[in-house]
Amino acid sequence: MAKLRVRVYNVRFGDAVLVTIPDRAPNGSVAKRHMLIDVGNVLSGAGGADELFRPVLADIQKQLAGQPLDLYVMTHEHLDHIQGLFYGAEKLGVRFNVTHAWLTASAAPDYYDTHPEAKRKRLQMEAAYEQIAQFLRAAPELETPYVRALMHNNNPRDTGQCVDYLRSLAQKTTYVHRGVDLTGAHPFQEAQFEVWAPEEDTADYYRGLVPMALAVSPDSGASALPGLTEPLPPAGVDAGAFYNLVEMRRRGYGSNLLAIDRAANNTSVVVSLEWRGWRLLFPGDAEYRSWKMMEQHGVLQPVQFLKISHHGSHNGTPDVELLDKVLPPRAGRRRRRAVLSTYPDTYGGVPDAETLALIQSRCAVTSVEGLTDGAYVDIEFTG
């Protein structure tokens, strides 16, 4: 019996998944092919530790045994998914020979030229990010480890260089979205792939920015730090109500930072892999909005393997009604499993115990938590 193997590495707060697939050609010959999904972790706090990429990349090389990597998938443009291969190339001199790569559609170099509404919303998000960055420089006491992780993960400059690197990683790069034609986009003959998300136009994922008035005085020079200005209530306005409003708008930075984070998560490539009767789902960090759109487009189907989305956050797993489509309460005859890739005390409330309990009520869950850095868990499927 042949075995398909999903290897999930402990990269602390991030994802790195290597899938090894015995792929049978129509003439009966079987090739061992590899798909690598993401490789990254956050740059801040306990969840980040770049040294662990050394053993992870070494193991991936060992598994490839001199063959090229058949398919690399970049789910979305967050450092905890993209910085590992760039780090490997820059700092460790480790480069992979990759034949095909899939990057999320909105990572295409000309994407925002052809999608004006997505561009408009993305620019709003970037402007909000810059405002928040200035605000946190003026009020550093508000920069908790969680806020710092969010800021790093969503920094357009840092992600830009990693994405540039990944765009040139493979001999052939395809920017993928739901409904994309995958003909010629991978060398697999037996294994079947479907991209369930994201939508080709990402404009709908950018929502939820609240008005912010952070009252930061402009940076007066390269060396000067911005300061917080203290606005005065206009004549005739109740001072208490006025300062409450100022405070509320300042607090809007937290909710906007989450909206920025969520928008990028929802551009995650959600890929389903079918092999000898098994269906495996790798949803990156897709959050609720993306699950809802998958449901609206009728692509959700029962799976026997789930890479739990977004490190086990409350938002990464749909509520029961939608989860029923992916992991129905009654299992079929094949055993179902899920893997959690996460690290505690990095992102507020992640992983979420209630969410994990819900998934555990449907299938066995394995976590990389507690493994040594760079170690892995293997899940195997016999076919």
Instruction: Give the residue with the Cβ less far from Zn ion, 182 or 258.
Output: 258
Instruction: Give the residue with the Cβ less far from Zn ion, 80 or 287.
Output: 80
State how far the alpha carbon of 303 is from the alpha carbons of 20, 227, 271, in Å: 18, 52, 12
Instruction: Give the residue with the Cβ less far from Zn ion, 21 or 73.
Output: 73
Instruction: Give the residue with the Cβ less far from Zn ion, 285 or 352.
Output: 285
- Rounded least distance, CB 340 to Zn ion, Å: 12
Q: Which two tokens stand for residue 240?
A: 């208490």
Which of 70, 261, 285, 352 lies at the binding interface for Zn ion (CB under 5 A)? 285
- Nearest 5°: the CA angle 37, 38, 40 is 150
- Rounded least distance, CB 49 to Zn ion, Å: 15
Which positions ≥6 away from 58 have C-beta within 8 Å? Answer: 94
Report the SS3 class of residue 280.
strand
- Rounded least distance, CB 339 to Zn ion, Å: 14
- Which of 57-65, 86-94, 204-212, 281-289 is the region at the interface with Zn ion (rule: CB under 5 A)? 281-289
| # residues near Zn ion by CB under 5 A | 2
Which positions ≥6 away from 298 have C-beta within 8 Å? Answer: none
Quick note: the x/- pattern for Zn ion over 113-152, rule CB under 5 A, is ----------------------------------------
- Rounded least distance, CB 359 to Zn ion, Å: 17
- Rounded least distance, CB 329 to Zn ion, Å: 28
| Locus of tokens 């309990």 | 357
Report helix angle 79-87 to 156-167, nearest 10.
60
Return the amino acid letter for 290.
S
Kindly write down the DSSP assignment for every residue of 63-98, as one continuous string. HHTTSPEEEEEE--S-HHHHHHHHHIIIII-----E
Are β-strands 376-382 and 3-9 bridged in parallel, bridged antiparallel, or unpaired? antiparallel
- Rounded least distance, CB 248 to Zn ion, Å: 29
Instruction: Give the residue with the Cβ less far from Zn ion, 285 or 287.
Output: 285
Instruction: Give the residue with the Cβ less far from Zn ion, 70 or 285.
Output: 285
| Locus of tokens 């990944």 | 166
Instruction: Give the residue with the Cβ less far from Zn ion, 80 or 352.
Output: 80
Instruction: Give the residue with the Cβ less far from Zn ion, 199 or 285.
Output: 285
Instruction: Give the residue with the Cβ less far from Zn ion, 174 or 268.
Output: 268
Q: Which two tokens stand for residue 49?
A: 């530790």
- Which of 59-67, 77-85, 139-147, 286-294 is the region at the interface with Zn ion (rule: CB under 5 A)? 77-85
Q: Do residues 297 and 178 touch, judged by C-beta distance below 8 A?
A: yes
- Rounded least distance, CB 311 to Zn ion, Å: 6
- Rounded least distance, CB 84 to Zn ion, Å: 12
Are β-strands 3-9 and 14-24 bridged in parallel, bridged antiparallel, or unpaired? antiparallel
Quick note: the x/- pattern for Zn ion over 31-70, rule CB under 5 A, is ----------------------------------------
Q: State which of positions 152-211 bind Zn ion (CB under 5 A).
A: none
- Rounded least distance, CB 269 to Zn ion, Å: 13
Q: Which two tokens stand for residue 17?
A: 């998944």
The answer to the question of residue 80 lying near Zn ion (CB under 5 A) is yes
Given phi > 0 = left and psi -120 to 50 = alpha, else beta, which region is 322? alpha
Report the SS3 class of residue 376.
strand
Residues that bind Zn ion (CB under 5 A): 80, 285
